[in-house]
Structure 1
Amino acid sequence: MKILQINSVCGIGSTGRIVAGIHDILIKNGHESYIACGRNLYKNFDNAIKIGTSFDVYMHVLKTRIFDKHGFGSKKATIKFINKVENLNPDIIHLHNIHGYYVNIEVLFNYLKTANKPVIWTLHDCWAFTGHCSYFDYVNCDKWKTGCYKCPQKTKYPKSILLSNSKHNYLKKKEIFTDVKNMIIVTPSNWLAKLVRQSFLKEYPVKVINNGIDLTVFKPVKSDFRKKYNLEGKFIILGIANVWEKRKGYKYFIELAQKLEKDEIIVMVGLTKRQIKKLTDNIIGITKTNSVKELVKIYSSADVFVNPTLEDNFPTTNLEALACGTPVITFNTGGSVESVDSNTGFVVEKGSIDGLLNAIKVIKEKGKKSYSYYCVERVRKLYNKHNAFNEYMSLYRITSEKILKCLSN
């Protein structure tokens, strides 16, 4: 089989690591694998296809900021890319995040409809079926079910500072994304699958394949993190995010800090330097790191991982914490709850500081060791990356067999 994956990034971030992992499995199994992305290509990666230039991305961002037309820029870059795809002639095209200022969705889907190739589309958020936003739980918006207009999140990703175009975007996406003859949608969570079935994408079959992580990397390790930050004897409450904002629950850590005991400390990873300057003494702020080894040391040192996200799909941070033997506390929101059970942490009422405090207290009293074994085992059984990638391999094979059957007839 010859597989082409398309994603905004490759090798970094949660979606970038998923794409790279699928590629590695394909190569090991003797298949041809190619990855196309808008930025952050794999270093020393021969089978990478860059879509557009930095200038193309910049102009796409500008079009989004002014006209709220995210996904409708990069026309020339996408036409050039489609020419490369036609020469490559893949058996299956696997889409991931097609938002991110790098591809024109109309040009891309016009090709997919005429090429009549099997398409697998893994949705990592809700952007595909809204007129603007990638999530809507935070603002309790359900316009996406019937038709977006006057988006309450116009200034959120993908940010527009002038015009609002959500009504037109919604109608165009509905027109563009429907009627692909042979497409299956994959979601990492049951929560997102349920939403897809309520959206204009409901005509497509939907399969749930949970995100998986590399258990040779994410595992309990000996760490000097406590010594490095003078935290020996402290109960560490950990939070990690790519960007700390209201949606990720930033304010709940600030409120938690006001209610902690003297031997308790919060560690937040992914903060900006400006955010770090505003922290109280019982919060240690660390800027974003792409060092997986450093993250594993931090996860392993923490006593509990708190994820007060207000909207999320299937956060890999929960899985990474569990794999490192650290119990997880999360709000009852989105797909975040699906990775946690009573042996590995707590799911508390959305927005409840008291719920977070009570769950932290229980874990502190019982001790991290009483959870660690179950945390590691849960990830080993359910969220090993090889399980997820094997499901994708099976999906590719089934799709490929259908092609051969159609050709033989």
Structure 2
Amino acid sequence: MKVVHLSTYHTFGGAGIAALRLHHALRGIGVQSSVLVQEAEREEAGVEGFANGFLEKKMAFARFAAERAYFLFQEKEKSVRFHFSPLWAGTDVSAHPLVRGADVIHLHWINFGFLSLYSLKKLFALGKPVVWTMHDMSTFTGGCHYSRECDRYLTHCGFCPYLRTPGADDLSSRVFEQKKALFSNAPLTLVSPSRWLAELGARAALTKHLTSLAIPNPIDTSVFAPAASSEIDLDPAKKWILFAGVNTQDPRKGFAYFKEATQQLNDRADRWGIVVFGKTDPEALTGMGLEVRALGSLPAHEVVRVYQAVDVMVVPSLEDNYPNTVIEAMACGTPVVGFDSGGIAEQIEHRTTGYVAQLYSAGDLASGIRFVLEEADYGQLRENTLRVIQQRNSFGVVANAYLSLYQKLIAAVGRQV
């Protein structure tokens, strides 16, 4: 069986990493998997960049710039600039040898100038089974990646809160209509890493006629695994709380709630500390109530060491699908505390592998941290996290779930022929 994955990014971003891990997992069980990305960031078996030469890369950037410019004049404010994708600019990959030779076409996150609605139309016209793993909500909305508190995607997009002049016939409404025509008879099956997003896909007006399934993201447990001792320079007398991928500018990531929670833990300032890595704002990290160690951006092998060194990770996102960071930490035996939001509440088993806090409650987030570090049987929590990851997210489990889906879709096409 030959499967081609289409993904904007190779090793950048949660969706790109999840797609690449699935590719590795499938190859591990004998599937002829390949990945076609906008630009390959390194040489890797089965991965090809669509834009390889100097001119092709310039054209790829031009498509990205064109789509962003198309939205620029309609955005409500700068903060939403990269949170809405109209799929206006893209390239036709339908004639690429990897696509032509595939039995199944597997879409992932394909925004930002890689594929457009026209590109998708050309792919659907090939008549091959198409699987689309939804890494956010943009598949079934008029363009937003996360709808926040708007639920117009359940009926018809329009009056979009992301737009400068929302109205009945605004950009989100027009994109909605284009997707409606495109999806009406598409050979498309939707998958989400979380039941939360799969269920939204099953209810959304654009996709409720399509099959929408949940298959979790995979994690390589030979790489993300517990370590006997820490290789990170942290005070061993303290317990360390990790906040990964800090983005203080995006309210959806919930940094303000994390900060308020740690301020409530200042009675443990002599025993607990905070570790952060990723995009950080030094000013935002002041007044946290506990000592802060900011590690900045780290290569993958260093990230693993951080997970292994800390005692708990906190993920206070207010809306998220299935963060890779949660399963990465759990695979290293680190319990996780997160809000009851999106797919995060599915990743964490409350009081078994971590703590699911009441949404918007910094106080309950602080209680979750105290539960993990002081109240729970910590050794049992670690054992539970490792067991859950092996049963739910290991390469073999996830790859075989997708293989079963591919086989059913190929068989259905054969019966139609």
- Scaled to the shorter chain, the TM-score interval is 0.7 to 0.9
Looking at structure 1, the residues matched to 31 and 114 of structure 2 have their Cα atoms a distance apart, in angstroms, of: 27
User: Any gaps of 5 or more consecutive residues in structure 1?
Assistant: none
Q: What's the TM-score once normalised by structure 1's chain length?
A: 0.86
- Does residue 255 (structure 1) correspond to residue 255 (structure 2)? The answer is no
Match of 1:54?
61
**1:388 corresponds to which letter in structure 2?**
V
Looking at structure 2, the residues matched to 98 and 305 of structure 1 have their Cα atoms a distance apart, in angstroms, of: 30
- 1:148 deviates by 2.1
Match of 2:4?
4
Looking at structure 2, the residues matched to 357 and 211 of structure 1 have their Cα atoms a distance apart, in angstroms, of: 28
Looking at structure 2, the residues matched to 371 and 277 of structure 1 have their Cα atoms a distance apart, in angstroms, of: 29
Q: Give secondary structure in 2 for the equivalent of 1:115.
A: coil
- 1:42 deviates by 4.2
- Does residue 146 (structure 1) correspond to residue 155 (structure 2)? The answer is yes
**1:286 corresponds to which letter in structure 2?**
L
Match of 1:379?
389
Match of 1:271?
279
User: Any gaps of 5 or more consecutive residues in structure 2?
Assistant: 52-58, 76-83
- 1:390 deviates by 1.3
Q: For residues 72 and 132 of structure 1, do their structure 2 counterparts lie closer, same or farther at Cα, with a shift above 3 Å needed?
A: closer
Q: Give secondary structure in 1 for the equivalent of 2:157.
A: coil
Q: Give secondary structure in 1 for the equivalent of 2:295.
A: strand
Out of 233, 255, 276, which is 2:237 matched to? 233
- 1:307 deviates by 1.0
Give per-residue Cα distances to partners, 1:113-152, cap 9 Å, x unaligned: 4222111111111011112311123xx2111112222322
Q: For residues 328 and 86 of structure 1, do their structure 2 counterparts lie closer, same or farther at Cα, with a shift above 3 Å needed?
A: closer
Match of 1:321?
329
- Does residue 165 (structure 1) correspond to residue 171 (structure 2)? The answer is yes
Say if 1:63 and 1:70, in contact at 8 Å, map to a contact too: no
- 1:85 deviates by 5.3
Select between 128-137 and 18-27 the one with higher mean Cα deviation. 18-27
- 1:283 deviates by 2.4
Out of 125, 130, 140, which is 2:136 matched to? 125
- Does residue 299 (structure 1) correspond to residue 314 (structure 2)? The answer is no
- Does residue 220 (structure 1) correspond to residue 235 (structure 2)? The answer is no
- Does residue 394 (structure 1) correspond to residue 404 (structure 2)? The answer is yes
**1:39 corresponds to which letter in structure 2?**
E
**2:318 corresponds to which letter in structure 1?**
L
Say if 1:223 and 1:298, in contact at 8 Å, map to a contact too: no
Looking at structure 2, the residues matched to 117 and 233 of structure 1 have their Cα atoms a distance apart, in angstroms, of: 58
Match of 1:175?
181
- 1:173 deviates by 2.2
Looking at structure 2, the residues matched to 326 and 170 of structure 1 have their Cα atoms a distance apart, in angstroms, of: 41
Looking at structure 2, the residues matched to 28 and 361 of structure 1 have their Cα atoms a distance apart, in angstroms, of: 40
Looking at structure 2, the residues matched to 29 and 359 of structure 1 have their Cα atoms a distance apart, in angstroms, of: 38
Match of 1:287?
296
Looking at structure 2, the residues matched to 242 and 259 of structure 1 have their Cα atoms a distance apart, in angstroms, of: 20
Match of 1:361?
370
Give per-residue Cα distances to partners, 1:302-352, cap 9 Å, x unaligned: 121111110011222111111111111111111101122231111111011
- Does residue 191 (structure 1) correspond to residue 199 (structure 2)? The answer is no
Say if 1:329 and 1:348, in contact at 8 Å, map to a contact too: yes
Q: Give secondary structure in 2 for the equivalent of 1:33.
A: strand
Q: For residues 87 and 391 of structure 1, do their structure 2 counterparts lie closer, same or farther at Cα, with a shift above 3 Å needed?
A: closer
Select between 196-205 and 169-178 the one with higher mean Cα deviation. 169-178
Looking at structure 1, the residues matched to 310 and 28 of structure 2 have their Cα atoms a distance apart, in angstroms, of: 35
- 1:13 deviates by 3.5
Say if 2:244 and 2:277, in contact at 8 Å, map to a contact too: yes
Q: Give secondary structure in 2 for the equivalent of 1:21.
A: helix
Q: For residues 183 and 73 of structure 1, do their structure 2 counterparts lie closer, same or farther at Cα, with a shift above 3 Å needed?
A: closer
- 1:388 deviates by 0.7
Q: Give secondary structure in 1 for the equivalent of 2:68.
A: helix
Looking at structure 1, the residues matched to 10 and 317 of structure 2 have their Cα atoms a distance apart, in angstroms, of: 25
Looking at structure 2, the residues matched to 368 and 246 of structure 1 have their Cα atoms a distance apart, in angstroms, of: 31
**2:304 corresponds to which letter in structure 1?**
V
Q: For residues 110 and 359 of structure 1, do their structure 2 counterparts lie closer, same or farther at Cα, with a shift above 3 Å needed?
A: closer
- Does residue 336 (structure 1) correspond to residue 351 (structure 2)? The answer is no
**2:292 corresponds to which letter in structure 1?**
I
Q: For residues 384 and 25 of structure 1, do their structure 2 counterparts lie closer, same or farther at Cα, with a shift above 3 Å needed?
A: closer
Looking at structure 1, the residues matched to 244 and 98 of structure 2 have their Cα atoms a distance apart, in angstroms, of: 41
Say if 1:4 and 1:33, in contact at 8 Å, map to a contact too: yes
Q: For residues 340 and 397 of structure 1, do their structure 2 counterparts lie closer, same or farther at Cα, with a shift above 3 Å needed?
A: same
Looking at structure 2, the residues matched to 358 and 46 of structure 1 have their Cα atoms a distance apart, in angstroms, of: 46
Q: For residues 86 and 375 of structure 1, do their structure 2 counterparts lie closer, same or farther at Cα, with a shift above 3 Å needed?
A: closer
**2:197 corresponds to which letter in structure 1?**
L
**2:161 corresponds to which letter in structure 1?**
P
Give the root-mean-square deviation of aligned CA atoms. 2.7
Looking at structure 2, the residues matched to 277 and 266 of structure 1 have their Cα atoms a distance apart, in angstroms, of: 10
Out of 209, 230, 233, which is 1:203 matched to? 209
**1:21 corresponds to which letter in structure 2?**
R
- Does residue 39 (structure 1) correspond to residue 36 (structure 2)? The answer is no
**1:143 corresponds to which letter in structure 2?**
R
- 1:247 deviates by 0.7
**2:21 corresponds to which letter in structure 1?**
G
Match of 1:19?
19
Out of 85, 109, 115, which is 1:70 matched to? 85
**1:2 corresponds to which letter in structure 2?**
K
Say if 2:89 and 2:115, in contact at 8 Å, map to a contact too: yes
Q: For residues 18 and 364 of structure 1, do their structure 2 counterparts lie closer, same or farther at Cα, with a shift above 3 Å needed?
A: closer
**1:37 corresponds to which letter in structure 2?**
V
